[in-house]
Amino acid sequence: MERILVGKHSLLNSSPRWLRAAAMGLLFAVAFAGTALGQDVPVSGTVTNAAGAPIAGVTVRVQGTDIRTNTDANGNYRITAPASATLTFAHVGSKPFTAGVGGRSRVDVTMTNVTYLEEVVVTAYTEQRRADITGAVSSANVDEAKKQTQASVLKALDVAVPGVTVQTSGSPGSRSTVRIRGISSFQNNDPLYVVDGTAVSDSYINFLNPEDIASIQVLKDASAASIYGSRASNGVVVIETIKNGPVGPPRATIRARTGVATPTKGYDDILLTSSLDYFQVLKQRYINAGQAVPTGVYGDPNNPSIPNYYYATPSSILTKDAFGRIVTVDASKYSYPNALIEPASAGTNWWKTVFGSAPVSDYNLDVRGGGEANAYAVSFNYFDQQGTAAYNDYRRGSVRVNTSFNRSKFNFGENIALSVARHYGGTGTFDDASGENGVLGKDILIQPIVSVYDVAGNFGGGKGVPGVNSSNPLKNAFDAKDNINKDNQVFGNVFAGLDITPAFSLKSRLGFNLQQNSFAGYSAITPQNNEASFSNSVFENNYQSTGWGWSNTARYLKTISKGSLDLLVGQEASAGTNRFLQGSIANLLNTGLDSRYVQDALGDPTTKNVFSFGGKNALMSFFGKAGLNYADKYVASFTLRKDGSSNLGPEHRWGTFPAVGLGWRISNESFLSNNRILSDVMLRYGWGITGNQNIPSGRIVSQFGGGRGDTFYDITGSTSSIQPGFRQASIGNPDLKWESNKSTNVGTDLSLFEGALNVVLDVYKRTTDNLLFDPRTPATAGIAAPPIVNIGKMQNKGFDFSVGHQASWWNATFNGSHYKNTILTIDGVQTFFYGPGGTRIGNPTINQLGQPIGAFFGFIADGFFRDAADVAAHATQDGAAPGRMKFRDVCCGPKGEMVPDGKIDNSDRTIIGSPHPKFTAGLDLGAHRGNWDASATIFGTYGNKIFENQMDFYVFQDFSSNVRKDLLANSWTPTNLNAKYPRLDITDSFSGAISSYYVKDGSYTRLRNMQVGYTLPSGARYLPGARVYVQGENLFTKTNYDGLDPAIPAGNNTGAAGDVRDQFLGVDVGVYPTNRIFSIGIVTSF
């Protein structure tokens, strides 16, 4: 273990130490300066409603800071604030209120009731009052989302917004797969993110410090999103950062949080950790198969024992026992890497060897303020989360500067973020890659007899243990500890606006996104493996992308006597280029960090390989929107957008995306006025079309190419030189056109009992047509990538709702959603195609007409054969025998009809489950008493299935992996007919076929976050007004899933037409488990 600690220690002490020191130094400096800078005065007052009754539980906050308090049962509050500060009063059900302190010591406030329809939210290009929104737009509870200790705010979006699902792993800094209202296409289903008006396609959003976020709006239907027409078919997430602070002198706020993460569950909870227990399983497998039990490792099957060594280089072996096991060795003959000696272990707990607790810290400093004509918000963030897996670490530093200036009728400014992220560690930890040889794949299932270290203290391995082809997972992690993924990003925009008249304004915004990503990796030799490799290599790559978007809008907003008119016209152009360069070389002479470069002299020059590729795309758009409001009763909006895309055929480049929205604020009708139950009722209807052109560029023409390992050939028989060859790489389609997504949404916003209960309910249907994808062509057409065509059709139907209640000292919001995804058309001929992810046992997912995308596909497992009579009575099945899996005969009759035909074959495979949840729910709870506050967030998903592919290893023991603790006790025997597992049998290669046996209920309910905070009284001697808190994340999970973690991210899978991970959902190939994090934090302003 010492080795690991040393390793981790050195990791901590490596390069960004200065960054950490700087961050801490800065925080302390500012903290101490704080007391000197502040000119705070105590302020108190009473909050009452229009009827004069006190309101309890109003959040009183010093604007732009985190200094806040709540009113007590009598509506009284006390807070310390700068004499020039502005206080904000917030209470669900009341209209937000602001009041300047203006040197007063008592500020009494009267709040009026509003529903949430009075909120103003930033949607597309403009701000809108909720009551004017006819589409499905949800606001995320940003304050709650920020409580999650994550590099990206996206990871908490599922609980914060109904209708949104997020798949993510416990790997720090990893991807968030966000899906809004189901899945609309066979590939590329990430929503569009719009950050401060600049669109970005990025599934991590790690450049954005969650603490900088002011609001997140999710545009869920076409009538809301079609203004972003071209890229909006998967929904739009509109994120606005905090732009200003309170008017007056700068206010600084420090937010610091530090904690410890541990995995929520480990494989050591599931798998054997004793070598002799493992042997008993092995033994039974051979005995049941009628074969001799191997004796080479455990000796006498009736009296098994742990050998001294399971492998030693022949020259070092001194004595062997009667079973040929090595008893004594001559350790002086040991030599790395060619002469190893591997001691046996009585039981290695591989999980604990690799996984453990890891620190996480998040430091923020922001300074915000402004005057009449300017506003600014500057922030600095340092986030460092070590993975719970060894040698895995994510660090980010970011700086944001948001400024805006008004001068006469002009306003201009910029929002810019610079972020630098470093991710250390091997593959399979960062991008949710599903590689089985990663730290989280099959290797972690290595047998307990394998030792972590050999006799000389080098990493041990499975060499000499029959069948083990896993690598030592700690060695995997160690070898990759210096693999570094660097992300440098500049993201932001500059803008200028002109208010020509009070009603008519112009705005121009230039957004940019400059990214530089590089990776440097190393593969070490693995002499201690059965499948030993003595060849090392380095590879590195560099990716640069430049994207920009320029939007120009004109808005006319006129309020007339009984209503308002809101007109917007605009134009937008965006373009991007990217370039990727990769190089590798093998057999480095010196493997030290300083020698890991791709240079002829450093390794074997004949192994050097370099290549590059790139991409380009451009979009051009024109759009307009009209909003009408009559008497605050009738609302209508019309949107039209025209987009041109470089990815599509010249004749079909331009697409038109209309949308209509209608709203009726029925509560403003006279017949409902003064209704005490229905305080506010809005009915909404929206219809619209959004588009999608997100496919690889250049697919309108056929592409030709080749590769050394694909088309090149040694025609001369030289044995070492090849001649170039070419083939068609892809088939072009000049007729590529826009994929369109029609959506209809009916919703209502309800405010009941004078705002005590707020309900938002939406029901929708979304149909994607002309779906862009690359249906498979017959092999007789060759392996060239099939043309991408507009042919599929997919539908999502569902509903989402949210119910909120605000009591005097507590509040609760419940979000729920449901979607049903159905494939309506594939290519007009095919009724199915398989998903992308092959596993060792075949392909478990299928896309079939009438079924959801990525359904599980295989045999139906009907328990185990009872006896020979049962075998005889059953349809003919390969390898049928008592105790083996029995598959159901479902097909086919002579004309392909679904009737049993007496044999189990290909045609008997059928849909055996869906990875899609039937219902997902989020619950936010909050309470406060005096200076104490508490909150909790619960997330649940129900009815989704998991294909537990890891069973191939820990039940069926593929590659002699470790097995489940209860495998021996719960396997079929003639006296245990209803066992959990089939009969142990080393010759049974049949029971493990893909079947419903692997399909498990993936439902779970998880306490995502629980936080208790205490706000120091304003009169406190130290840190007055500061809030300190303790929090726990993922403390509790209720699930029936018996694998590692039911929260399974969609593994990275890419097809010729893009990201196809949605076709491989819910397949458990070894996921980085969710972290349980305990942390403490402080927020203080001055």
Partner 1 sequence: MTTVSKKPLLRGAAVLILAIAFLYGCKDFLSNAAAPQGTLNQTTLANRAGVEGSLIAAYRTLDCTDQTENFGWGCAASNWVWGSVPGGDSYKGSDIGDQPNINDIEGYHWGSPLASDYLNGKWIIVYEGVVRANSTLRLLKQVLASSPSEFSSADAKAIAGEAIFLRAHYHFEAWRMWGNIPYYREDETDFRKANEDSSAVAVDLLKDLDSAIKLLPATPRNGDKGRASLWTAKAYKGRVQLYDHQYANAVTTFKAVVASNTYGLETSFDQVWTAFKSKMDGPETIFAFQASSKDGEPNAGNANWGERLNFPYSPSHFACCGFNPPSQNLVNAFRVDASGLPLSLSAPTTWNASDSDFKAGNLTPVDPRLDWTVARKFVPYKDWGLYDTTFVRDPANGGPYSPKKTIHEKASGAEATVGWQPQQQSSLHIHIYRYADLLLGLAEAEVETGDLAGALAIVNQIRARAGVTAQGCAAAADNNVAATYPQCAGDARLAVPINDPKITWAVYRINPYPSFPSQAYARAAVQTERRLELAAEGQRFFDLRRWGTVAAEINGFITGIGGGAEKNRRGFLAGAEAITARHRWYPIPAIQISLSQVAGQASLKQNAGW
Interface of this chain with partner 1, residues 929 to 958, rule: CB under 8 A: 952, 956-958
Does 710 bind partner 1 (CB under 8 A)? Our answer is yes
Beta strand ranges found along 106-222 (DSSP E):
109-111, 120-122, 127-129, 137-139, 164-167, 177-180, 192-195, 198-200, 213-219
Instruction: Please select the residue that binds partner 1; options are 73, 715, 869, 899, rule is CB under 8 A.
Output: 715
The stretch among 95-103, 234-242, 780-788, 968-976 that binds partner 1 (CB under 8 A) is 780-788
Amino acid, single-letter form, for residue 78: R
Beta carbons within 8 Å of 460's beta carbon, 6+ residues apart: 342, 343, 450, 451, 452, 453, 454, 472, 528
Interface of this chain with partner 1, residues 184 to 223, rule: CB under 8 A: none
Interface of this chain with partner 1, residues 482 to 541, rule: CB under 8 A: 498, 500, 506, 508, 529-535, 537
Instruction: Please select the residue that binds partner 1; options are 181, 633, 652, 653, rule is CB under 8 A.
Output: 653
Interface of this chain with partner 1, residues 320 to 349, rule: CB under 8 A: none
Does 644 bind partner 1 (CB under 8 A)? Our answer is yes
Nearer to partner 1 by C-beta: 324 or 930?
324
Residue 3, number of CB atoms within 10 A of its CB: 14
Instruction: Please select the residue that binds partner 1; options are 179, 422, 463, 625, rule is CB under 8 A.
Output: 463
Nearest approach in angstroms of CB 469 to partner 1 is 8
Nearest approach in angstroms of CB 407 to partner 1 is 5
Does 668 bind partner 1 (CB under 8 A)? Our answer is no
Nearer to partner 1 by C-beta: 550 or 809?
550
Instruction: Please select the residue that binds partner 1; options are 294, 359, 658, 863, rule is CB under 8 A.
Output: 294
Nearest approach in angstroms of CB 170 to partner 1 is 28
Does 558 bind partner 1 (CB under 8 A)? Our answer is no
C-alpha to C-alpha distance for 389 and 627, rounded to whole angstroms: 53
Does 625 bind partner 1 (CB under 8 A)? Our answer is no
Does 705 bind partner 1 (CB under 8 A)? Our answer is yes
Nearer to partner 1 by C-beta: 12 or 701?
701
Instruction: Please select the residue that binds partner 1; options are 703, 825, 976, 1005, rule is CB under 8 A.
Output: 703
Nearer to partner 1 by C-beta: 823 or 936?
823
Does 32 bind partner 1 (CB under 8 A)? Our answer is no
C-alpha to C-alpha distance for 119 and 115, rounded to whole angstroms: 8
Interface with partner 1 (CB under 8 A), residue total 132
Ramachandran area for residue 173 (φ above 0: left; ψ -120 to 50: alpha; else beta):
left
Nearer to partner 1 by C-beta: 656 or 748?
656
Nearest CA among 269, 247, 257 for reference residue 371: 247
Does 543 bind partner 1 (CB under 8 A)? Our answer is no
Nearer to partner 1 by C-beta: 167 or 515?
515
* Rounded (10°) CA dihedral 312, 314, 320, 322: 110
The stretch among 11-19, 67-75, 241-249, 570-578 that binds partner 1 (CB under 8 A) is 570-578
Does 319 bind partner 1 (CB under 8 A)? Our answer is no
The stretch among 346-354, 358-366, 568-576, 1000-1008 that binds partner 1 (CB under 8 A) is 568-576
Nearest approach in angstroms of CB 795 to partner 1 is 22
Instruction: Please select the residue that binds partner 1; options are 986, 1012, 1030, 1035, rule is CB under 8 A.
Output: 986
Angstrom CA distances, 1074 to 209, 265, 623, 875, 1007, stand at: 21, 8, 43, 43, 12
SS3 25: helix
Nearer to partner 1 by C-beta: 725 or 850?
725
Q: Provide, for the chain, the percentages of residues in helix, strand and coil under a 3-state DSSP scheme, each rounded to the nearest 5.
A: 15, 45, 40
Nearest approach in angstroms of CB 360 to partner 1 is 35
C-alpha to C-alpha distance for 276 and 283, rounded to whole angstroms: 10
C-alpha to C-alpha distance for 881 and 885, rounded to whole angstroms: 8
C-alpha to C-alpha distance for 953 and 640, rounded to whole angstroms: 54
Which residues does residue 9 pair with via DSSP β-bridges, in sequence order? none
Alpha helices in 215-288 (DSSP H): 222-225, 275-288
What letter would DSSP give residue 68?
A: E
C-alpha to C-alpha distance for 162 and 1005, rounded to whole angstroms: 16
Does 727 bind partner 1 (CB under 8 A)? Our answer is yes
The stretch among 274-282, 571-579, 1057-1065, 1072-1080 that binds partner 1 (CB under 8 A) is 571-579
Does 902 bind partner 1 (CB under 8 A)? Our answer is no
Does 697 bind partner 1 (CB under 8 A)? Our answer is yes
Angstrom CA distances, 269 to 171, 623, 1067, stand at: 20, 57, 20
Nearest approach in angstroms of CB 989 to partner 1 is 4
Interface of this chain with partner 1, residues 993 to 1012, rule: CB under 8 A: 993-994
* Token code pair at residue 617: 């795309």
> Is the CB of residue 132 less than 8 Å from the CB of residue 635?
yes
Nearest approach in angstroms of CB 673 to partner 1 is 45
Instruction: Please select the residue that binds partner 1; options are 51, 332, 594, 709, rule is CB under 8 A.
Output: 709
C-alpha to C-alpha distance for 925 and 813, rounded to whole angstroms: 7
Does 824 bind partner 1 (CB under 8 A)? Our answer is no
Interface of this chain with partner 1, residues 838 to 897, rule: CB under 8 A: 838, 840-843, 878-879, 881
Nearer to partner 1 by C-beta: 909 or 1000?
909
Instruction: Please select the residue that binds partner 1; options are 135, 245, 940, 992, rule is CB under 8 A.
Output: 992
C-alpha to C-alpha distance for 958 and 953, rounded to whole angstroms: 5
Nearest approach in angstroms of CB 468 to partner 1 is 9
Interface of this chain with partner 1, residues 127 to 166, rule: CB under 8 A: none
Residue written as token pair 């060859």: 725
Nearest approach in angstroms of CB 1055 to partner 1 is 12
Nearest CA among 139, 238, 154 for reference residue 198: 238
Which residues does residue 262 pair with via DSSP β-bridges, in sequence order? 1076
The stretch among 445-453, 698-706, 808-816, 1024-1032 that binds partner 1 (CB under 8 A) is 698-706
Does 586 bind partner 1 (CB under 8 A)? Our answer is yes
Beta carbons within 8 Å of 905's beta carbon, 6+ residues apart: none
Instruction: Please select the residue that binds partner 1; options are 265, 400, 909, 1008, rule is CB under 8 A.
Output: 909
Nearer to partner 1 by C-beta: 323 or 834?
834
How many helices (H) and strands (E) would you count in the chain?
10, 54
Nearest CA among 858, 852, 791 for reference residue 826: 791
Interface of this chain with partner 1, residues 389 to 408, rule: CB under 8 A: 407-408
What letter would DSSP give residue 917?
A: -
Instruction: Please select the residue that binds partner 1; options are 409, 558, 562, 918, rule is CB under 8 A.
Output: 409
C-alpha to C-alpha distance for 850 and 855, rounded to whole angstroms: 11
Does 780 bind partner 1 (CB under 8 A)? Our answer is yes
Residue 670, number of CB atoms within 10 A of its CB: 7
